[in-house]
Amino acid sequence: LVSNSRPEMPKLQFLYFIAHQMMRLRLRCGGRGWARKPFVRYSSTRYTMEDFRFQLAKPDHVTVSRRRAKKWYMLQDSDLDNLKSVEAPNPYGDEHDVYELYWLSDVVSLAKAKHSEENIINNYKSILSTASEKATTKEDAKRVIYGMSGTDRWYRNPSSGTPEGKKSVEQGLKSNLTIFCGKLLVSKYTGSFALFADAMHSLADVCNYMYRYYSLSRSTQQADQKHPYGYAPLRHICADRSFVCLVLIGGAVPVSVGVYELGQLASLCILPPHEPTLALAAGAVLVFSIVMEALAMRTASQEMEEREKTGKKQEIMSSATYLEAKAGVYGSIVGLFGVLVTASTGSPVVEIACSAVMGAVVGGVGCHLLSVSGTALLGATLPVERVTTVIEILQRDEVVVEIYDVKTQIIGSDTVRFKAEVHYNAEAITKKRRSLHCIPSAEATNLFKEIEGLQSVASSEDWLMKNDAEFLIAFAGEARRLQELVRKELSEYSNVYVDLSVW
């Protein structure tokens, strides 16, 4: 820093050098020396009795929560409202709430003004003696472990939103329940192989939709102690299992039956006659099936369009329902073609072949969905272009020197993790905190006067400690700001977990 008079520059550097050397000397002395204050030793999450006495005599430059200030130092909310507070984000993740922290030195001064030091010490003794060391430690741990505090925090509130994909699953279930029984009865009565293949597809869909509907309700549960990251992965787990059912029942069974029947017909010299009237009845059921599947496809398409408008990635349930319903429409059209050809020629060969094709279409869609869900469960990385964009955004920031070891992972269709090692620019953070954007300036002059006013070793130590404590708060704020930059860039994902480790 430079003031208007150049000869003062060496004096400022000398004072800052002396403060640093004093701090290094204290570290070498194990925390003892001129200040007669040891390092704070911790017993689990609490001070020992000796440490607490030292904190009362000479508090560290740290911030404490309102809860601790009230419990340890016998203060009330009305007392703390008059103190200068430092706002920090809620550590439990509620972005609309903040934590109020107070400088320990202010809390201790106020406590001493209201109570005698002996009463404060006796109060802390009673806190330590309320339970054994192990039991108290366990309770302190429960208070900060997600889902065990018993407090009615934001994450315990019930969800008010409709599960994404629920409407399309409901419509698919209604459509297939309506037509499955009719398909099965008419196929048995008419002997239509195309209708049998379509009935197997509907049976697979009924099983799938019932299972997905149940899993959707579970996947919207709020995070708790056993599952602190929520139940959203259930959507992909249950979808993956249901696709196996689709491949086996809706695909493998009709194809196997069709191939077997074609083999049986090939061994006959004369093909059995086929009743045209019964074939027309089967055709009418297939037409009705096309209408119902198209309705389910339209509902799923609307859900997908709503997500696209909000810029979010497509959701597995809606996408699966759309593809399955589309396969049902195309399969029914192929089956209808086979039924009509059979009705006009009287030969069942074309219809049997079409039933095998219908099963192959459904099985192919099921295999494709299995591949998609498997990739989602495995967790692929973000595209290189997106990762490069995020890195460039971070590296352009003034508080970042360099980015290292970037790892990303897409979990499902709406969650992504971004991890990187960040080399922070301490000087840039200090300039922002102190508003030292140019030198000389009014802020630089005030800082020089502040340091010049240090008249003793103890005051130099206090200044250095408080400066470092304020820097740590500013550093945490900059780290959170960078995390928000990453979340904003990856806003198409509903959940973005960012881990910017200090390198």
CB-based contact 19:463 (threshold 8 Å): yes
Can you tell me the mean pLDDT for 217-242? Answer: 75
Can you tell me the mean pLDDT for 202-230? Answer: 78
pLDDT at 152: 40
Structure tokens at 431: 């300039």
| Mean pLDDT value across the chain | 76
pLDDT at 388: 92
pLDDT at 297: 87
- CA-CA distance, 470 to 494, in Å (whole number)? 34
The rounded percent of the chain whose pLDDT value lies above 70 is: 77
- 294 versus 411: the higher-pLDDT residue is 294
CA dihedral sign of residues 124, 129, 132, 138: negative
pLDDT at 423: 92
Name which of 40-49, 340-349, 426-435 the model is least confident about.
Answer: 40-49
pLDDT at 8: 43
pLDDT at 30: 43
CB-based contact 460:444 (threshold 8 Å): no
| pLDDT tens, residue by residue, 355-385 | 889 989 989 998 988 888 887 777 788 889 9
3-state secondary structure of 497: strand
The DSSP secondary-structure symbol of 250 reads I
pLDDT at 34: 40
CB-based contact 366:251 (threshold 8 Å): yes
Sequence letter at residue 223: A
Q: Could you tell me the pLDDT band of residue 157, with boundaries at 50, 70 and 90?
A: very low
pLDDT above 50: residue 36: no
Name which of 91-100, 447-456, 460-469, 478-487 the model is least confident about.
Answer: 91-100
- 475 versus 11: the higher-pLDDT residue is 475
Structure tokens at 454: 């240090």
- The backbone torsions φ and ψ at residue 42, rounded to the nearest 5 degrees and listed phi first, read -115, 135
Can you tell me the mean pLDDT for 453-479? Answer: 84
The rounded percent of the chain whose pLDDT value lies above 90 is: 8
Can you tell me the mean pLDDT for 231-259? Answer: 84
- CA-CA distance, 12 to 145, in Å (whole number)? 46
With CA atoms as reference, report the closest residue to 80 among 62, 65, 92.
Answer: 65
3-state secondary structure of 453: coil
Say if residue 440 is preceded by a cis peptide, omega within 30 of 0.
yes
Decide: pTM greater than 0.85. no
pLDDT at 451: 82
Name which of 26-35, 96-105, 110-119, 412-421 the model is least confident about.
Answer: 26-35
Can you tell me the mean pLDDT for 285-306? Answer: 85
CB-based contact 54:37 (threshold 8 Å): yes
Block residue for tokens 């194809």 = 255
Can you tell me the mean pLDDT for 319-341? Answer: 87
pLDDT at 45: 40
Furthest CA-CA distance within the chain: 116
| H runs (alpha helix) in 346-418 | 349-378, 384-396
With CA atoms as reference, report the closest residue to 19 among 475, 453, 436.
Answer: 453
- CA-CA distance, 13 to 298, in Å (whole number)? 73
The set of residues, in sequence order, having a beta carbon less than 8 Å from that of 127 and lying 6+ positions away, is 46, 71, 72
* E strands present in 8-165: 42-43, 46-47, 63-65, 85-89, 98-103
- 254 versus 166: the higher-pLDDT residue is 254
| pLDDT tens, residue by residue, 382-404 | 889 999 999 999 999 989 989 99
